[in-house]
Amino acid sequence: MFSDHVKGASIAFDLDGTLVDTAPDLVRALNEVVEPEGLEPVPVAEVRAMVGRGARVLIERAYAAQGRALIGDEVDAHVRRFIDVYRAGIADRSQPFPGCIEALDGLKAAGAHLSVCTNKPSELADLLLQTLDMDRYFDRVIGPDRTPAKKPDAAHLFASVSPGAKRIVLVGDSEPDATCAKAAGVPLILMTHGYSEVPVSTLGADRLLDSFVELADALEVVLPVSP
């Protein structure tokens, strides 16, 4: 599936919306928090585009959509409750996107160095990957608390790969990934199945993929030749 062209290359992946469809569990946790407060359950379709904004925005928007508002300590308490509920069933409904595991297997077998570059808190990213038996694929899992500056800052991407890495590609699904890759000066591959708030076709990716089946061909095109 993957040729020797990827050997030694550093392939950094976003997590939510790129590798794993986490929206169903995020919605599960969100609704467990807001329904006891008298809000109607939030549909999954309404949350997918907001996943990258974090728990606080998910909760605030859920309230705002139903004409309610939270202030100060109320927001903080809801966020803490959301994190606890989410953590307790972090992969109850979340699954790798179709073809993801096969692609990771192929990349590892071909000698690529794989990492996760995510704005999800590192503890939750670790737990999700461990629960799905995906942590074995990655040399590094770098959330915002393990880097001097989070995406879209290029420092996040560089923290997720080996020091001095030259052949780097970022695979993501949304605007923070696109801005990060541009700032870092590296090729960008975006998955169309993700959680972008704007049309993913407008983000300037070197390649747009509908499926991980297309990843091998995309890397052949965008990845610089090994010196």
What is the arrangement of strands in the sheet containing 168-172, beginning at the earlier edge strand? 140-142, 113-117, 10-13, 168-172, 188-191, 207-209
Which amino acid is present at 10? S
Q: Does a cis peptide bond (omega within 30 degrees of 0) precede residue 152?
A: yes
34 contacts 61 by C-beta, under 8 angstroms: no
CA distance 136 to 114: 10
Catalytic residues: 14
Of the candidates 129, 120, 118, 141, which has an alpha carbon nearest to the alpha carbon of residue 55?
120
Which amino acid is present at 25? D
First-to-final CA distance of the chain: 22
22 contacts 30 by C-beta, under 8 angstroms: no
CA distance 39 to 213: 40
| Lookup result for tokens 């169309």 | 192
CA distance 10 to 197: 27
